[in-house]
Amino acid sequence: MLARLAAFLLGLLAGAMLAIGVGLVPYWQGLPPAEFRAWFGAHAWRIGGLMRPLGGSAVVVAGAAWIGARRVSGSRRVWLGLAAIATLGVLVITLVVNEPANELFGHPGALSDKATAALLVRWMRWHWVRVGLGVLGFYAALRAV
């Protein structure tokens, strides 16, 4: 049951991150830096309102599924472990790279236009690492089911 829930949540998480990467990031890159900061300050809470509970629940459920499979032999435990570790990687990158950048993007006067553009490039690169880890976690959870 937990493995299926983990696969479901990881699929949603990976899909949401992919949508951000292919939908929002190109839009953000097309805006002048000042307009991007204004947009981000006004709307980032909506993205966070989805991604924080989704990411948090995916980490908890994937970890619980892995722990719950400790008595299971074979590849199922390995796949659940990979799913949990990949999801934890998404969380670490989010907390260390993306969330601090989000705070700067959302505070007026915190960044110059040049610093905004550079930080958005860094944010985007790490976001694609998160997407890759999310897809890997989803795949691993599916293999465990």
Q: Is 109 left (phi over 0), alpha (psi -120 to 50) or beta?
A: left
* DSSP at 72: -
Which pLDDT belongs to residue 13?
98
Which pLDDT belongs to residue 141?
98
Which pLDDT belongs to residue 70?
87
Which pLDDT belongs to residue 81?
96
* pTM of the predicted protein model: 0.93
Query: Which residue shows structure tokens 């690492």?
Result: 129
Q: What is the pLDDT along the chain (145 residues), one digit of tens a residue?
A: 899 999 999 999 999 999 999 999 999 999 999 999 999 999 999 999 999 999 999 999 999 999 999 888 789 999 999 999 999 999 999 999 999 999 999 998 999 999 999 999 999 999 999 999 999 999 999 999 9
Go through 75-95 and write b for each residue having 16 or more CB atoms within 10 A of its CB, e for each that does not: eebebbbbbbbbbbbbeebbe
